[in-house]
Amino acid sequence: MGTYCEIQLYEPSRIRAKRMVRRLIGEVNRLESKYTRYRDDSFLSKINRSAGDQTGIKIDVETQKLFEHAQTCYEQSDGLFDITAGVLRRAWDFSRKRIPDESELQELLPLIGQERLNWHDDILFLPENMEIDFGGIVKEYAADSLANLARELGVKRGLINLGGDFAAIGLQPENRPWPIGITHPEDPTKTISHFHLSEGGLASSGDYERSFIFDGKRYSHLLNPTTGWPCAGLRAVSVSANLCTVAGSFATIAMLKQEQDALNWLTESGLPFVFMDGAGQIGGAGLAN
């Protein structure tokens, strides 16, 4: 997953616990190898290599569900959450702090548009030069998948943490919720709030880990698929929901929206959330502070 991952669970038998953890780690590795865009042998890479192929590519049930969730996010975000926007990485290089020319972006924008995906039953026809990126979906999906597998294995109490995306399995002993601190975007030694997770998921999105400042302006890695330029709304958002996948979707969509639209979106959702705005102010609703 390209990040720090942690599995906590309560189990009387150490041997049984180790066996469970091995199964859960195996599931993480399966999803990583299937959906990463950094491996040529992943299924996602195979999908992207099919772009322009008139015969299309057969999509399995699990992957179809990811596409269906992505479509829901696309519709709820008015097109801002678009899994075809990954082509913009061809112009943006955040490790080198490179700002592309407008002409470069204009060449890529015609390759973006989730509505251009063509399906015939379980066959996907991906237009030429387009590509899919499940960033903002698959890590949260993996957290939920591990939680479900853990329950099938008999785990009654546990917590999955995939790079700050959480899925809880019941409560801690003595029926205590899981206290999760939200790291301050500008100071990792501090927290800005706490969630008390008893079941369900928690996910965070922000521009603090992959962004750069040039001539006093911050450039976020979260890109607007209609313009090709970084979004300039909230700095960070954390959301709690019944599933980590749902929480992640709300957090990511909020980051893609303009600041006030994002806050309205989060407030109307009724979900607990905390945020940092562009001015560094912190707020939220439904939190356990």
Give me the DSSP letters along 151-203: HHTT--SEEEEETTEEEEESPBGGGB-EEEEEEETTEEEEEEEEEEESSEEEE
pLDDT of 128 reads: 96
pLDDT of 289 reads: 45
pLDDT of 95 reads: 82
Mark 69-104 as b/e (b = at least 16 C-beta within 10 Å). Answer: bbeebbeebebbbbbbbbbbbebbeeeeeeebeeee
Label residue 2 by pLDDT band (50, 70, 90): low
Residue 256 has pLDDT above 70, yes or no: yes
Assigned token pair, 137: 């979906």
pLDDT of 209 reads: 67
Distance CA 146, CA 166 (A): 10
Share of the chain above pLDDT 90, in %: 78
Averaged pLDDT score across all residues of the chain: 92
pLDDT of 288 reads: 52
The dihedrals phi and psi of 181, each to the nearest 5 degrees, come to -85, 140
Q: Which residue has the tokens 């015969």?
A: 55
Residue 154 has pLDDT above 50, yes or no: yes
Kind of pairing between the strands at 123-125 and 200-206 = unpaired
Distance CA 275, CA 237 (A): 4
Least confidently predicted of 32-36, 162-166, 207-211: 207-211
Least confidently predicted of 158-162, 209-213, 264-268: 209-213
pLDDT of 215 reads: 80
pLDDT of 129 reads: 95
Distance CA 73, CA 257 (A): 13
Mean pLDDT, to the nearest integer, of 191-217? 85
pLDDT of 287 reads: 67
Which pTM does this prediction carry?
Answer: 0.92
Residue 208 has pLDDT above 90, yes or no: no
Beta bridge partners of 159: 8, 168
- Tallying the residues shown for the chain, one arrives at 289
CA atoms within a 13 Å half-sphere pointing along the CA-CB vector of 231: 29
pLDDT of 1 reads: 59
Domain 157-278 top-level CATH class: alpha beta
Mean pLDDT, to the nearest integer, of 258-283? 93
Distance CA 201, CA 168 (A): 6
Label residue 223 by pLDDT band (50, 70, 90): very high
* 268 three-class SS: helix
Distance CA 77, CA 199 (A): 26
pLDDT of 221 reads: 86
Each residue's pLDDT tens digit, 111-127: 999 999 999 999 999 99
Residue 207 has pLDDT above 90, yes or no: no
